[in-house]
Each structure stands twice: as C-alpha cells, then as structure tokens.
A and B are shown apart, each in its own frame.
Chain A
Amino acid sequence: MYDLIEGPFLSLAFIIFVLGLLYQGSRFFQLTRKKEWIAPPLPGAEKRVKKSVGQFIIDGLASVKGTLWKTDPLMMIVTSAFHVCLILAPIFLLAHNVLLDQSWGIGLWSFPESFTDWLTIVVLICVAFFLMRRLFLARVRAITSFYDYFVLLIAAAPFLTGYLAYHQWFDYRTVMILHILTAELMLITVPFTKLGHMLFFFLYRFLIGSEYSFTRGSRTW
C-alpha cells in the first residue's frame, strides 16, 4: 500500500497536476485570443508618464486606499500569510528535499525543521480563520455550499497530517499514508477545481484589461 501511493500514485498525481495546469493555461490563451475592451482606451492613455521612484512609491501607497488592504486588512493579512506559507512549507521542507535527493539526486535548499513547523501552524491557523468566516460571516455564508468546506478540507488536510506525522502523533504509518494521499488529492484537484486560482490569479493579473492589473492588459475574457 505504502509503496503504491508513494510510487506510481504520486507520479500520476504530479503528471495530472502539471498537464492539468498546462491544459488550463493553454485554454485560457485560446479563449482570450480575441481582444476585447471593456471600455475603449482613452485617447493618449497609452502614453506612459515617467515617474521618479519617490513619486512611484507615493502613488503606490495612495492607491492602497482603494484596495482590499484598506477595506478588509485582516483578511488580506491572513490570506497572504496563508498562501505564502502554503507554497513555501512543502517546497523547502527538509524531509521532502531528502526524499527528492534519494529519488532523483536533486534537492532544494531547506528551511530549519522548526521553521517549517511554524509555517505549517500558520497555515492551519489561517484555515481555522477561513472556516470561522464561512460559518459566521453572513456575506460568506450566503455563497457557501458544502463543496466550499470540502475544498477547504482538501487544502488543509496535507498540512494537518504532515504536522501530525512530524510530531509522530497517532499511528505514524497511517498518518503518513493519509498525508501522501491527501497531498496527491490536492495536486490532482488544483487544475480542475476552484483551487485552480493558483494558476489563474497570476494569468488574470497580467492579462485583464482594467486598472486592477499590473499592466494595462490587452486580453480579457
């Protein structure tokens, strides 16, 4: 069982993850091939005004007023911490890199184990925050279905089981099997569920034609 989920299942999960993201990415570019403008560009809008670094920073800070950092700062802090830790913890975890080294002879630089342990705790605290939001905040509850709780569970389960495995709570072997299985489930579901915002967050950011993107953007849906 362990050999199966650690071997072929894991490879399959990674293949589905990578191919799924490539498919979704290519579909995105296909669907946005035709240029659309929400509003026609204003005359002279293409001209970029050269700004000094100081002015750029001042304008940047002023524009924060109109963003979610102003309207919902707590959620922005929690969601930023969650996503940063969610990406960093598994990639720079010593145990994962040791396994990579043993299998393929490659391994990334790793954080100290106590540090990744804290990153995991941050992820779990953020998940608890999201859960409370879903349960008790009227506007979130209004659009929440069972599926949203399930997706939150998919995101949280590899971290919860990883934490339990590292501290060797409960039966280690069972917890490890659950850890690998839940991580594989997460990888497989990323391209095809709302976890796909992992890819689309970046694509939209650069391509959507609005004042919210980094660039002016010329492709929109």
Chain B
Amino acid sequence: MSNQNIKPINTGEIKEMLNRQKGKMKRYLSFCAHCSLCADSCFLYRAHNRDPQYMPSYKVIQSLGKLYKKRGEADRRLLTEIKGIVWRNCVLCGRCYCPIGIHIPSMIAFARSICRSQDVYPQGDEASSESWL
C-alpha cells in the first residue's frame, strides 16, 4: 500500500490552508440556502437515480463544510471519507449550477487540495473503487 496509511495528519497545515481561504469559503458555506436546486445540474446525481449524496451542495457540506465545522481538526478517517466524496462522487466537470451563484467547483477543488496536502488521494488502482466510502 502507499504512504497514505503512514504519514500522520498535520492538522496545523490543514488549519492554515482553511484560514487562508476562510474569507471566500466560509461565505460560500454560510450563504448556501440549502435549497437543493443545484442537484439536477450534476450528471452524477442524475445518473445515480437522484441519490442525494451526489448532489453538489451535499458534497460540499460533507467535505469542506465538515472541515470548517471541525476547525481543521481532521483525522485520517474523515479525510478518507472526504476523498470518496470529492474524487469518486465528483469529477470536477464544473457544470454544477447554484442559483445564488456559489461557485461549487472551487470548493470541491479546495477540499481536494487539503486532502492532497495530507497525501490522501486516490491511487491508480482505486480510481473506480466503491470501497472509499
């Protein structure tokens, strides 16, 4: 297996990354009206029988939202969970549409950056693995 199970999680680094983007990202999160109108703009949501876990807002709330809620105090389990959300459940095609104008792809991309900073990212052989979540 890779070094994903070896390197300890550096919460200080996560906190620093979260703080650097706090102005933008926290505003995005706090102004989301939780209306679910972004759902149908996601082809994965439509392709998975309209399963709410593929909804763009759900993905953002469960990944970046959780990281901000925990103030960066993330463990490997949480980051692995987030990895599944931001890589498997989202292909970052950038087609998601928020009627309020929240830029969802930048939030998913940021969540990916945080995971990547801790060496949490999909390995070549698990690109389509269902065991992430």
Residues of A within 8 A of B (CB): 24, 27-28, 30-31, 38-39, 68, 71-72, 75, 79, 137-145, 148, 192-194, 196-197, 200-201, 203-205, 208, 212-213, 220-221
Contact = CB atoms under 8 A, between A and B. Distances in A.
Contact of B31 (A144, A194, A208, A220): A194
A31 B23 contact: yes
**Interface core residue of B27, B34, B41, B52 (most chain A CB under 10 Å):** B34
Contacts, number: 86
B28 interface: yes
Given A31-B23, A221-B28, A68 B37 contact: yes
B31 A212 contact: no
B37 A72 contact: yes
B61 A143 contact: yes
Interface in B10-37: 23-24, 27-28, 30-37
A208 B101 contact: yes
Nearest to A208: B101
Nearest to A197: B100
B33 A194 contact: yes
A205 B58 CA distance: 22
A143 B106 contact: no
Given A138-B52, A142-B58, A143-B57, A221 B24 contact: yes
A142 B52 contact: yes
13 contacts: A138-B52, A139-B36, A139-B55, A140-B36, A142-B36, A142-B53, A148-B34, A194-B32, A194-B34, A196-B31, A200-B101, A204-B100, A208-B101
Contacts of A196: 30-31
A138 B32 CA distance: 18
B99 A143 contact: no
B102 interface: yes
Interface string B78-122: 000000000000000010010111110110000000000000000
A194 B106 CA distance: 19
Interface of B: 23-24, 27-28, 30-37, 39-41, 50, 52-53, 55, 57-58, 61, 94, 97, 99-103, 105-106
B30 A72 contact: no
A205 B52 contact: no
A75 B34 contact: no
A39 B95 CA distance: 12
B30 A193 contact: yes
| Top-4 shortest CB links A-B | A204-B101, A142-B52, A71-B40, A139-B52
Contact of B55 (A39, A71, A143, A148): A143
A143 B36 contact: yes
A40 B23 CA distance: 24
A201 B58 contact: no
Given A144-B34, A201-B99, A221-B24, 19 more contacts: A38-B105, A68-B99, A75-B35, A137-B36, A139-B36, A141-B52, A143-B36, A143-B52, A192-B30, A193-B30, A194-B32, A196-B31, A204-B100, A204-B102, A208-B101, A220-B103, A220-B106, A221-B28, A221-B106
